[in-house]
Every structure is written in structure tokens, then in C-alpha cells.
Amino acid sequence: MRIVVLAKPVPDAGQERLRNDFRMDREATTEVINGNDEYALEAALKLVEASPDGGEVVLLAMAPDHAQETLRKGLALGAASAVLVTDPALEGSCALTTAHVLAAALRELSFDLVIAGVDTSDGGGGVVAAGVAALLGLPYLSYAARIEPSDGRVRVRRITPNGYEVLEAPMPALISATQALGAPRYPTLKGIMGARRKEIVIRTLADLDLAGARARGVEVGGAAATARVTGSRPRAPRGTPKVVQGSPAEAAQEVVTFLAERRLI
């Protein structure tokens, strides 16, 4: 079983900042592997460990060069190697062009499954994985709470707004992962030491075959982004909260009055 995990380095929650050009500041803060991608990685590691013929997990990211540090964290958890697509021209890429770049990078890799988190904590659009699957002609099984491969096919329990559905498709396939797959493991000291020796393959735009994108009339890179942010403003602060203390009955009465004033009850 060979699995590629799309692992996006993102600023740690609460530390994100926008630069003056409204792009995410990726230099100033510590980065981590996006939370939902960590669930993807954990699920992938478990599948490989359970596979009778072994296999390995490879990380794939499109990010600035310094994201190598963050990818090492995934290597420390057990991924065998990583591919980092990095190029100054990719800064400011939109979801569409990102999907094309990731698809081009995946065309050079062999895999039974690609697993990605359902969305990222920085962009949060949750559309790139579906786009990659459509570009590569891979069956797309999203919002996975359970992944069960067998005999060249894979079954996924997909979370729906009112329950779940069980999906099945032949491999190779692309799956989007939710937290319901299970918590990621912690790195061991051995894992952290071993990660230093694992390979991170660097690919620039010039290394990728983007004929597929061009055939669809799509140029990649920040300059060709299909959408851009033109402004930002902080949300108006709420002000100091009203604090209620005292006996439960008194506090309850104060809260009822507060809710009634706001016409919430």
C-alpha cells in the first residue's frame, strides 16, 4: 500500500497574520501541519501498518521553501519521504491553480491512495482535493470517517449532514479525511532523529509537467490567480463582557433578563 498524503504547512492556530498585501504571513510564525491533514496522515500510517504487503506514506505539499521544517514533523511521525513543490512564483496561488500544481506533482508519483484533510485552517475553502481528483480522473471519496481497503477497492464511510453514507470505488482513489478517523500519534524521539535523514524532494515549477493545466487554458502561479483579496478589516470588538456571579438562582435570573433584553428567549 503506497499512500500520498497532502500535508499543508499552515501557521499555528491563533498566530496567523496577514501581510500588507493581504496574503498570509508565512515567515513570522511557527508552522504546523494542517490539523485535518494530520488526521489524513494518521489514517495513512495505520493503513500501511495494517497492510500485509507493507508500503509507505509520502507527504506532498506546495509551500514556501522553509516549510521543509514543518514537513520533518510529518516524517517524524512515520512518513517515509516528502515532496515539496516550492517556487516563488507560486506565492498567492488560488485554489484552482493549486489543484493543478498538486495534480501535476501527483502525476509523477505512484500510489494506491491519496489522502488529504477536508479543509485547511488558513484558506479553509475545502475545494482543492475535489479538484485534484477530477483533474487526475481519480474516484473521489470525501469527508471520510472510516477507510477500509480490500482487494484493490476502498470503502469509505462519508459523513453527511444527516448521518453517513458508505462509498466504494476501485483504487487508486483520492480520499478527504476528517477528525473522525482518529487522533494523530505523538512523535517518538527515535522518529524525530530518524526524520533528519529522510529525503525531502524539492520540485520547482520548471520541474513539473503542466501541459495538463495549459491544455485547459489555465496558467499556474500567483500572477494567474483567479481570485484575490482586496481588503481586510478587524471585526468590531465585543467590548468587556458582563460578568455574573452570586447564587445560582440570582445568576440564572440575571441571565434570563439578559437573554430577554436581546430577544433570545
Partner 1 sequence: MAGAIWVLGESKGSDLARVSAEVATLGSALGAAAGLDVVGVVAGASPDGLAAEFARYLPLVHSLAVPEAAETAFASAVGPSLAALVEREQPAYLLVGATSDGRDIAGILSVLLGWGVIANASAILWQDGRPEVEVSILGGKLLTTSVFTGQHGIITVRPTSVTAEPLASRGSVVPVTVSPEIALPAVTVVSRVAEESEAVPIDEARVIVCAGRGVGGPEGMHLVQALANELGGTVGASRAAVDSGWIPYSQQIGQTGKTVKPRLYVGLGVSGAMQHMVGMRTSETIVAVNRDAEAPIAEVADLVVIGDLFAFVQALISALQARST
**Of residues 43-102, those binding partner 1 (CB under 8 A):** 94-96, 99-100
Q: Taking CB under 8 A as the rule, does residue 215 contact partner 1?
A: no
Shortest approach of partner 1 to residue 259 CB, angstroms? 7
Q: Taking CB under 8 A as the rule, does residue 258 contact partner 1?
A: yes
Shortest approach of partner 1 to residue 237 CB, angstroms? 9
Q: Taking CB under 8 A as the rule, does residue 171 contact partner 1?
A: no
Nearer to partner 1, 184 or 187 (CB): 184
Nearer to partner 1, 174 or 195 (CB): 174
Nearer to partner 1, 206 or 265 (CB): 265
Shortest approach of partner 1 to residue 72 CB, angstroms? 22
User: CB neighbours (10 Å) of residue 59?
Assistant: 30
**Binding window for partner 1 (CB under 8 A); candidates: 45-53, 81-89, 201-209, 212-220:** 212-220
Torsion of CA 35, 37, 43, 44, to 10 degrees: -150
Q: Taking CB under 8 A as the rule, does residue 159 contact partner 1?
A: yes
Please list every residue from 228 through 257 that binds partner 1, using CB under 8 A.
228-235, 238, 241-246, 248-249, 251-253, 255-256
Judged on CB neighbours under 10 Å (0-12, 13-18, 19+), 88 is: exposed
Q: Taking CB under 8 A as the rule, does residue 168 contact partner 1?
A: yes
Among 171, 111, 119, smallest CA distance to 140 is for 171
* CA–CA dist 94, 226 (Å, integer): 6
Going from the C-alpha of 184 to that of each of 14, 40, 50, 260, the distances in angstroms are 20, 9, 16, 44
User: CB neighbours (10 Å) of residue 180?
Assistant: 14
Q: How many residues make contact with partner 1 (CB under 8 A)?
A: 89
Please list every residue from 14 through 33 that binds partner 1, using CB under 8 A.
14, 16, 18, 22
User: CB neighbours (10 Å) of residue 8?
Assistant: 27
132-163 burial, b if ≥16 CB within 10 A, otherwise e?
Answer: bbebbebbbbbbbebbebeeeebebbbbeeee
